[in-house]
Amino acid sequence: MATVEITKDNFESTINDNSIVLLDFWASWCGPCRQFGPIFEKASEKYSDIVFGKVDTDAQTELAQGAQITSIPTLMAFREGIAIFRQAGALPAPALEDLIKQIQGLDMEQVRADIAAQDGDPV
């Protein structure tokens, strides 16, 4: 699956309607973004069960501000609608591959229990 353009109109549905979503917040003038782009694209072709979204921070300023993006590229990962990873900076291909495997291996029941414990909610 190729990367998908993410806008404020499809952001929430993309996050909520897919099991795993990786978002690359980028801009065309950003050198590290241009370095990371092909790595992200290649991974999107390998993992067809994961949604790889690109957020153009120049065109989607409201979305970038809402996500509190202060540095680009920033990679965000969501699993089952929960934000589970966020990091600024271009990742090399092996690091992205490792991250994807970690995301796939997450015990989401434990993640939800940990979130509930942090919020002070009973499990």
Active site residues: 30, 33
Residue with tokens 């965000």: 76
Type of residue found at 12: E
Do residues 37 and 91 touch, judged by C-beta distance below 8 A? no
**Where do the H-state alpha helices sit in 31-71?**
31-46, 61-66
For residue 86, what are the β-bridge partners?
76
